Amino acid sequence: MQLTLPVHSETSSNGKLAGSSSGEELPRTRLLRRVLVIVLIVVAVTGFFAAAYKFHFFGLGTTNCWARPASVPASSTYFVVVMANEGMNVGFNGSKFQSGSWPIMNVTMGRTVTIHVINNDTIQSHGFAIQRYFSGFALGPGKCSDVTFTANQLGSFTVYCYISCPIHVFMQNGKINVNP
């Protein structure tokens, strides 16, 4: 059994439905197309900004040098050394204003040590090295890095900047003391 529904339509002399032509769109169709275009633009722009954030195109998600790095184990002995930007010749952790070695870090033999080094200077790079433990690296302005090692040699070792310039004279006399 086949069911047919009557369709009432008027056709013009050219065989098309009355009131329509190939170039005309109904107002509702135009509105839907505009909404679709707006939605596509919003989705594309949102995707672009999500990707930019994810891949750091705009500098978002940069490292916060002042927060303790999540990668440092809780069992590690942890120190922060700041290459300060407080005017000429300040040094490590304000060493210009100290009477002796600065910073002084005391650790127990056999412990894992992590030193978080921050270059708070806005102009120049600074170096960081530890006699017999770490040959060193240079940090650019505003950068930070970690040094992790096992304190397996007893004694007192110099912490110093290996870059030669006037401000670095106050970055030559830090100490790490490895005690039994």
pLDDT value, residue 111: 93
pLDDT value, residue 142: 85
pLDDT value, residue 110: 94
Q: Which two tokens stand for residue 2?
A: 């086949």
Confidence of residue 173 (pLDDT cuts 50, 70, 90): confident
Please state, in angstroms and rounded to a whole number, the distance separating the CA atoms of residues 149 and 180: 16
Confidence of residue 154 (pLDDT cuts 50, 70, 90): very high
Residues in the chain: 180
In three-state form (DSSP H/G/I as H, E/B as E, the rest C), the secondary structure along the chain is CCCCCCCCCCECCCCCECCCCCCCCCHHHHHHHHHHHHHHHHHHHHHHHHHHHHCCCCCCCCCCCCCCCCCCCCCCEEEEEEECCCCCCCCECCHHHCCCCCCEEEEECCCEEEEEEEECCCCCCEEEEECCCEEEEEECCCCEEEEEEECCCCEEEEEECCCCCHHHHHHCCEEEEEEC
Least confident window among 1-10, 44-53, 60-69: 1-10
Q: What is the CA radius of gyration of the chain?
A: 34
Please state, in angstroms and rounded to a whole number, the distance separating the CA atoms of residues 66 and 26: 61
pLDDT value, residue 125: 85
| Residue range 85-141, pLDDT digits in tens | 665 556 666 666 666 667 889 999 999 999 999 888 888 888 889 999 888 899 888
pLDDT value, residue 122: 80
Ramachandran quadrant class, 89 (left: phi over 0; alpha: psi -120 to 50; beta: rest): left
Least confident window among 58-62, 88-92, 137-141, 173-177: 58-62
Long-range interactions of 14-20: CB distance < 8 A, separation 24+: none
Percent of the chain with pLDDT over 70: 67
pLDDT value, residue 3: 63
pTM as predicted: 0.61
Name the phi and psi angles at 77, rounded to 5: -75, 130
For range 140-151, the mean pLDDT:
90
For range 23-51, the mean pLDDT:
85
Smallest Cα–Cα separation from 135: which of 127, 146, 144?
127
Dihedral sign of CA atoms 155, 160, 164, 170 in order: negative
